[in-house]
């Protein structure tokens, strides 16, 4: 019964929306479809405006929901404020905030600039905190709200030689999400950190690490539709942390109990390039 109420609620509340960052492709796009299927109205955001426009039209025609988009670059410190102002001005009440946008820097730490790292931390970390800070006040005033943060299995693994800050920022996001969940749960707001493993999306091509992905065995490559579905279900259940797929649940369990040196050895066979010295 509660499942039915949760899934049909936005249909009756005309102005109730899910805001999804990184909705132009991959996991974010599949989350948008999964939520639209459940009658959620959607606000999509990412940088590629034409793609957002096309996806918005598709969501409206396929699922009969309200949908809108706003193009923005989360590297820009003003972007979270602009997203919030857009929703306010349009009268969209964001009851579900999906922080999904992300990428990786395919360069050894010593060769990136500080600006590269700052932009990276802004997209994967600071913008997430800023959006939660802006939208949580409205959620608190209504006594309900759900936050999803797309983290990664990398949050549990030893950080790799390239993408030095990717794992650490995802660990930070897990802890941040956990803090929100613990402290706001009794006020009707949950936050769920979703930690996918290797997922087939544009991520590896657009981040310049497709070669790494190609070397990963197929059984470790997951489908974005299933990852998104698991993410949505975990968020509706108000889970603190969720690892989609049995394979990666086992890997995360092992990561918590085996010595890092052993993990690096296994990883050099299953995911070569991740820790190899370049």
Ligand X SMILES: NC(=O)c1ccc[n+]([C@@H]2O[C@H](COP(=O)([O-])OP(=O)(O)OC[C@H]3O[C@@H](n4cnc5c(N)ncnc54)[C@H](OP(=O)(O)O)[C@@H]3O)[C@@H](O)[C@H]2O)c1
Residues that bind ligand X (CB under 6 A): 22-28, 46-48, 73-75, 100-103, 123, 150, 152, 196, 198-199, 201-203, 206
Min dist CB 106 to ligand X, Å, is: 13
Min dist CB 119 to ligand X, Å, is: 7
The C-alpha atoms of residue 178 and residue 151 are separated, in whole angstroms, by 12
DSSP notation for 32-82: HHHHHHTT-EEEEEES-HHHHHHHHHHHHHHH---EEEEE--TTSTTHHHH
Which one, 3 or 253, has the nearer CB to ligand X? 253
Min dist CB 163 to ligand X, Å, is: 10
Task: Give Cα separations from 10 to 14, 93, 274 (angstroms).
Answer: 7, 10, 42
Q: Please say whether the beta carbons of 99 and 128 come within 8 A.
A: yes
Task: Give Cα separations from 97 to 15, 127, 130 (angstroms).
Answer: 14, 12, 12
Which one, 9 or 129, has the nearer CB to ligand X? 129
Contacts of 64 (CB under 8 A, 6+ apart): none
Which one, 41 or 45, has the nearer CB to ligand X? 45
Min dist CB 53 to ligand X, Å, is: 12
Which one, 64 or 217, has the nearer CB to ligand X? 217
Q: Please say whether the beta carbons of 190 and 232 come within 8 A.
A: no
Which one, 47 or 239, has the nearer CB to ligand X? 47
Q: Tokens for 48?
A: 């590629």
Min dist CB 197 to ligand X, Å, is: 6
């Amino acid at each position: 019964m509660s499942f039915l109420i949760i899934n049909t609620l936005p249909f009756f509340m005309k102005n109730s929306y899910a805001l999804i960052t990184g909705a132009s492709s991959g996991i974010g796009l599949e989350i948008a479809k999964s939520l639209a299927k459940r009658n959620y109205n959607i606000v999509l955001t990412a940088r590629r405006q034409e793609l957002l426009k096309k996806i918005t039209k598709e969501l409206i025609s396929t699922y009969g929901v309200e949908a809108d988009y706003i193009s923005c670059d989360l590297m820009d410190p003003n972007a979270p404020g602009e997203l919030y102002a857009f929703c306010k001005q349009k009268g969209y009440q964001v009851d579900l905030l999906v922080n999904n946008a992300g990428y990786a820097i395919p360069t050894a730490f010593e060769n990136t600039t500080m600006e590269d790292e700052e932009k990276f931390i802004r997209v994967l970390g600071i913008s997430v905190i800023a959006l939660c800070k802006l939208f949580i006040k409205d959620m608190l005033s209504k006594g309900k709200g759900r936050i999803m943060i797309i983290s990664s299995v990398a949050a549990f693994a030893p950080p790799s030689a390239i993408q030095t800050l990717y794992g650490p920022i995802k660990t930070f996001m897990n802890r941040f999400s956990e803090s929100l969940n613990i402290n706001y749960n009794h006020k009707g707001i949950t936050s769920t950190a979703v930690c996918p493993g290797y997922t087939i999306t544009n991520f590896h091509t657009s981040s310049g690490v497709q070669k790494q992905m190609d070397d990963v065995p197929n059984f470790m490559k997951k489908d974005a539709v299933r990852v998104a579905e698991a993410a949505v279900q975990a968020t509706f259940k108000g889970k603190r942390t969720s690892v989609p797929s049995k394979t990666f649940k086992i890997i995360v369990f092992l990561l918590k109990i085996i010595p890092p040196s052993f993990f690096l050895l296994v990883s050099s066979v299953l995911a070569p390039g991740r820790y190899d010295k370049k």
